[in-house]
Amino acid sequence: MKQQELKKIKDYKYGFTTDIESIRAPKGLNEEVIKFISKIKKEPKWMLDWRMKAFNRLKNIKEPNWQKPKYPKINYQNLYYYSAPKSAKDKPKSLDEVDPKLIETYKKLGIPLKEQEKLAGVAVDAVFDSVSVATTFKDKLTEKGIIFCPISEAIQKHPNLVKKYLGSVIPITDHYFATLNSAVFTDGSFVYIPEGVRCPMELSTYFRINASETGQFERTLIIADKGSYVSYLEGCTAPMRDENQLHAANVELVALDDAEIKYSTVQNWYPGDKDGKGGIYNFVTKRGACRGKNSKISWTQVETGSAITWKYPSCILQGDNSVGEFYSIAITNNHQKADTGTKMIHRGKNTKSKIISKGISAGKADNTYRGLVDISKKASNSRNYTQCDSLLMGNKCGAHTVPYIKNKNSSSTVEHEATTSKINEEQLYYCNQRGLNQEEAVGLIVNGFCKEVLQQLPMEFAVEAQKLVGISLEGSVG
Amino acid sequence: MLEIKNLKASINNRQILKGLNLSIKPGEVHAVMGPNGSGKSTLANVLSGKNGYEISGELNFEGKSLKKIPVEERAQKGIFLAFQYPLEIPGVNTNNFLKTSLNSIRKANGDKELDTLSFLKLVKEKSLELGIDEKILSRQLNVGFSGGEKKKNEILQMKILNPSFSILDETDSGLDIDALKIIANGVNSSRDKKKSFLVITHYQRLLDYIKPDFVHILSDGKIVKTGCSELAEELEKTGYKNFN
C-alpha cells in the first residue's frame, strides 16, 4: 500500500485500499455494458434476455424515496458496473504493508494470521494457502449432492435450477434497486441442498474469504429442497472497504416442504469518516419464500457498518405451518444511518413469525426499525410476535420504531412490544469500579442488550460478533 | 494506605464534604457512621473516583495522589466499593461479568488472566466459604435479585477480586440477620495485616459482627469524632444529635 494512501485513510481505522486493476466495463449503464457483463461471464442467451428485461423495466421506474435516511442523488451513468478482481501483483506482499490499524482490529477480533492475510488482500503463496482445506470441504459437500458455487458457474452448469428459481422470490419488477441488480449483477453464491439432506457444515465459514470480491451488485440464490437444512453465513466481522459506494445486492431464499434455511449476516462495510463523508450505501433486497408446508426461514443480522443501511430481510410464509424469524442488531455510530427491519407476509394457515430487533444508536447516528406484519384472510390461526428495543448513547442520536400491522384474519394474533432506553451512567460507573474501562463496560452492557440476537448466531461467528459490537461503539462515550 | 487531608467535594455547586481528614493504615478496619445527608455515600463515591465531583484537598492511596486517576484504574490498584444500590445489567451473566472484571484487574497488574476453569473453581471455593448459593452467579447480573442477594453478590465479588482496600457503603441496610452475618463473615475472613476496610453504616448492629479498629462520626461533611468501637455503642444510645 502506498504511503500516501495510508495517510489519506488514517482516520478510517478498519480500512484498506489496494490498487484496482484497469479491466473495467466502460462507465455508465446501457445495453452495451449489460452485454459486456453477460459476455465476460460466458452466459447463455436466456440469461442475457433476463437481464435485458430487467434493464428495460428499469428505464420506466424511479428510486423509492420513502426511507428516513436521505442521500445525495446517485448518477447511475457515472458508475462502473464491472471491474475485474485484483491481480496478485497489485496486492500487498505481506501484512507489514497493510494499515496497522486494520491488523489491530483483526487481532481484537481474534482472527487467525492466515485469515488476516487473506482478508487484507495479501497475495498468498499457493503453498501456504489453505486451498487443500477448502477442497476437503468441497468434496464432503459434493458427496451429499450439495451444490455450492458462484452463481455465474451455476448459470452455466445448473441452468434448470437457476431458471426455475432466480427471480421467483424477488421478481425483476420488484423495485428500483432489485431491478437494477437483476440487470447488472456480477456474481454471488448459489446453493442447492437436495431433498432430505442436512448440510454438514455452516456454509461459507470456510469460504467467506473467497467470496469477498463479488462486487457491488451481488446476487445470491439458496434453494433448500424438501426436508433439507442449511445454515449460511454471509459477510464477515472483519472490516471491509470497497471502492464502490452503492451496494445493491439481491438475496433469494426458497424453502420447500419441511426444509429450513438459517441465514446469518454480519455486515461491517466502511461507514464513512467521523464527519459522515464517504461510506457505503448498503441497499440490499433480501427475501425468503417458505414455499412448502412446515418450512422455516430464519434471518439473523448484525449490521455495524455502512454509511446508510437500508434493508428488510423478509419472509413470505406461503406453506401451511411455515415459520419466519428475524433477529437483528443494528448499530449506528457517528453519522451512520440505518432504516432496517423485516416483512413477514403470512399467506398459509398456522404460520408463525417472530421478530426481535435491537437498535443501538450513538454519536449523531439515526436508527429506524421499520417492519411489516401482513396476515391475509386465508392465513387462519397465524401468529406474530415482535419485540423492538432501542438503546441510545448520548443525546445527539435518534431511534425510531415504525411498525406496520395488517391483520385480515380474526383467528390470528399479532403482538408488538417496544422499548427505548438510554445507556445508564450508573451502570458504566459500576462496571468501571470493577476494573473495566469505558469501552469494555460499553461492550459488556451492549452485548447484554443484544444477547437474544447474538445467541442465534452460529458459535464461531457469535464470539467475533460480540467483540465487534464493542469495537463498533469505541469512542462513543466519555 | 489511605491518607485524606482537608478533603472537600462538591457536586452541582453544592459542597458535601467540607474538609474531611482520615488516615487508614494497612490491616485496619474503620467504620464511618453518620446521619442521612452527612456525606457518607459521597465519601465512598469520591474515594472510588466517580465522575461529577469537584475535589480539593489531599487524597493519597499507597503514597500516590488518586485525584487524577479514573475509576477503573483505582479499582485495578485495589480499591473496591460494595455499592449501596448494586446496578442491574440485563443480559449480562454474573459469572461472565465477574470473570471479565477479575481478568481486567489481573491484566492491569501484570498477572496472567484466569481461564474459565480456574475461575469457576475460585468462585466455587469463595461462595462455599461465604455460604452463598452460587446459583445466583449464573443469572443476569443483579436482575431480579432480592435486596439481600444483591448485597451478598457484592461481598462475593469482593472476596473474588481480593482488593487491598474495600469500602462497604451501607451494605448492611435492609438485611436480615442471616444475610448480615454473611456480610460480616466476608469482611472478617478477609482481614489480614495488609488489607483495610472502610465500613459505612447507619447502625451499630453491623459493628456487633465486624469489630472496627476505629469508629468515626461524620456530620455535615466532616469527621467530628473518632473513637474505638465503644463510640458506636454510645452513639446507638444517644443518637447523632450530640455530635453536631
Any chain B CB within 8 A of the CB of A433?
yes
Task: Answer whether B189's CB lies under 8 Å from B221's CB.
Answer: no
Q: Three cell numbers at B241?
A: 444529635
Candidate from A427, A433, A440 with C-beta closest to B71: A433
Give domain limits for chain A: 131-429
Residue of B53, B89, B145, B154 for testing the chain A interface, max A β-carbons within 10 Å: B89
Distance from CA of A100 to the nearest CA of B (A): 23
Query: Which residues share a beta bridge with B61?
Result: B2, B64
Q: How far is CA A372 from CA A300, A346, A419, in A?
A: 17, 11, 18
Query: Which of A360, A427, A390 is CA-nearest to residue B141?
Result: A427
Measured distance CA(A187)–CA(A175) in Å, rounded? 20
Q: Write out the DSSP string of B37-105.
A: TSSHHHHHHHHHT-TT-EEEEEEEETTEE-TT--HHHHHHHTEEEE-SSPPP-TT-BHHHHHHHHHHHH
Distance from CA of A135 to the nearest CA of B (A): 35
Give the list of residues 6+ apart from residue B135 with CB closer than 8 angstroms, or none. Answer: none
ipTM: 0.96
If one counts the domains in chain B, the total is 1
Measured distance CA(B7)–CA(B90) in Å, rounded? 36
Pairwise CB contact (< 8 Å): A433 & B100: no
- Residue B45 falls inside a structural domain: no
Confidence at residue B234, expressed as pLDDT on a 0 to 100 scale: 82
Confidence at residue B28, expressed as pLDDT on a 0 to 100 scale: 96
Amino acid (1-letter code) at residue A229: Y
- Total number of residues shown for chain A: 478
Task: Work out how many CB contacts closer than 8 A connect A with B.
Answer: 73
Candidate from B72, B97, B157 with C-beta closest to A432: B72
Pairwise CB contact (< 8 Å): B89 & A426: no
> For residue B160, what is the nearest residue in chain A, using CA coordinates?
A434
- Residue B147 falls inside a structural domain: yes
Binding-face residues of B in 166-225 toward A, CB within 8 A: none
Measured distance CA(B45)–CA(B196) in Å, rounded? 17
Q: Which residues of B touch A445 (CB under 8 A)?
A: 89, 92
Low-confidence ranges of chain A (pLDDT < 70): 1-24, 83-95, 97-103, 105-106, 108-136, 205-215, 236-244, 460, 475, 477-478
Give the list of residues 6+ apart from residue B71 with CB closer than 8 angstroms, or none. Answer: A429, A432, A433, B48, B49, B50, B51
Q: Which residues of B touch A431 (CB under 8 A)?
A: 89, 97, 101
Matching residue, cell 399467506: A347
Farthest-apart Cα atoms in chain B, separation: 54
Per the prediction, chain A carries an average pLDDT of 83
Distance from CA of B87 to the nearest CA of A (A): 6
Distance from CA of B233 to the nearest CA of A (A): 32
Query: Which of A472, A12, A458, A14 is CA-nearest to residue A265?
Result: A458
Matching residue, cell 456454509: A203
Query: Which residues share a beta bridge with B9?
Result: B17, B55
Candidate from B50, B70, B75 with C-beta closest to A434: B75
Parallel, antiparallel, or unpaired for β A296-303 and A323-332?
parallel
Any chain A CB within 8 A of the CB of B109?
no
Of A238 and B207, more confident: B207
The pair phi, psi for residue A3, each rounded to 5°, is -55, -40
Parallel, antiparallel, or unpaired for β A413-422 and B29-33?
unpaired
> For residue A427, what is the nearest residue in chain B, using CA coordinates?
B87
Query: Which of A363, A381, A383 is CA-nearest to residue A373?
Result: A383
- Residue B162 falls inside a structural domain: yes
- Residue B207 falls inside a structural domain: yes
Q: Which residues of A touch B72 (CB under 8 A)?
A: 432-433, 435-438
Show the domain range for B35: 2-40+51-243
Q: What is the pLDDT of residues B97-154, one digit of tens each?
A: 999 999 999 999 999 999 999 999 999 999 999 988 888 889 999 999 999 999 999 9
Any chain A CB within 8 A of the CB of B145?
no
Confidence at residue A17, expressed as pLDDT on a 0 to 100 scale: 34
Q: Which residues of A touch B101 (CB under 8 A)?
A: 431, 434-436
Q: Residue A396: how many CB atoms within 10 A of its CB?
A: 12
Measured distance CA(B83)–CA(B145) in Å, rounded? 14
Q: Is B128 helix (H, G, I), strand (E, B) or coil?
A: helix
- Residue B153 falls inside a structural domain: yes
Q: Is A188 helix (H, G, I), strand (E, B) or coil?
A: coil
Q: Indicate whether B5 pLDDT > 90.
A: yes
> For residue A442, what is the nearest residue in chain B, using CA coordinates?
B89
Instruction: Give A258's DSSP letter.
Output: T
Q: What CATH number is associated with residue B192?
A: 3.40.50.300
- pTM of the predicted model as reported, rounded to 2 decimal places: 0.83
- Residue B201 falls inside a structural domain: yes
Measured distance CA(B1)–CA(A140) in Å, rounded? 65
